[in-house]
Structure 1
Amino acid sequence: MDIEIPHDLGKAEARRRIEAGLPKLEQHIPGGGTVQATWSTQDQLDMEISAMGQTIPVRLQVSDDQVRGTVAVPMLLRMMAGPIGEFVKASAQKMLSRPA
């Protein structure tokens, strides 16, 4: 599942806001869960969201005017792919909209 989030922050500020919001992300996973996140390059964030015994890989690419992402929903959670993708997108939008 692909997501796109436009912004007008510039790459450095978008990355800073995402970085600042990551510690809060686990608190918003329905039913509880964990988030492991690593910047694999200066502009690419690789995450693993673990919930309900499943791991959901997420890759976000930060550019000057948007954040593009891929959410790989496991087969067992496919029936929830829409809500999972929306959770990731909404979380990223919140991180980008709040100065940290």
Structure 2
Amino acid sequence: MQFEVPHSLGKSEARRRIENGLPALEKHIPGGGTVASTWTAEDRLSLTISAMGQSIDVAIEVEDAVVRGDIDVPMMLSMMSGAIRDFVEKSSRIMLEKGGEPAKA
């Protein structure tokens, strides 16, 4: 699944806001979970969100005017794929717009 979040921050500010919001992401995962993140390039972020024995991989690319993401939802969670996409997109939007914490799931 893919998502896009437009912004007017420029690449470096968008990256900074996302990076600052990542530590808070874990506490918004229902039932608890973990988030592992790695910047694989200056503008590419790789996330693995783990909860309930499942892992969701998210690849995020930060551009000057948009953040694009690809979410890989395992078959076991496919029935929840819409909610997962909404959570990741909303969290990204909040981090960019307000520099705040991610969305509550």
- TM-score interval for Structure 1 and Structure 2 normalised by the shorter chain: over 0.9
**Aligned residue pairs, count:** 100
**Aligned equivalents of 1:53, 1:18: Cα separation in 2:** 25
Partner of 1:76, secondary structure, is helix
Structure 1 match to 2:79: 79
Q: Is the Cα–Cα contact under 8 Å of residues 62 and 68 in structure 2 kept in the other structure? A: yes
- List 4+ stretches of structure 1 deviating above 2 A: none
Identity %: 57
Q: Give me the TM-score of the superposition, normalised by structure 2.
A: 0.93
**CA-to-aligned-CA distance 1:43-90 (integer Å, 9 cap, x gap):** 000000001100000000000000000000000000000000000001
**Aligned equivalents of 1:43, 1:65: Cα separation in 2:** 12
Structure 2: gaps (5+ residues): 101-105
Deviation of 1:99 after TM superposition, in Å, equals: 3.5
Structure 1: gaps (5+ residues): none
Structure 2 match to 1:47: 47
**Aligned equivalents of 1:9, 1:30: Cα separation in 2:** 30
**Aligned equivalents of 1:7, 1:30: Cα separation in 2:** 27
Q: Give me the TM-score of the superposition, normalised by structure 1.
A: 0.97
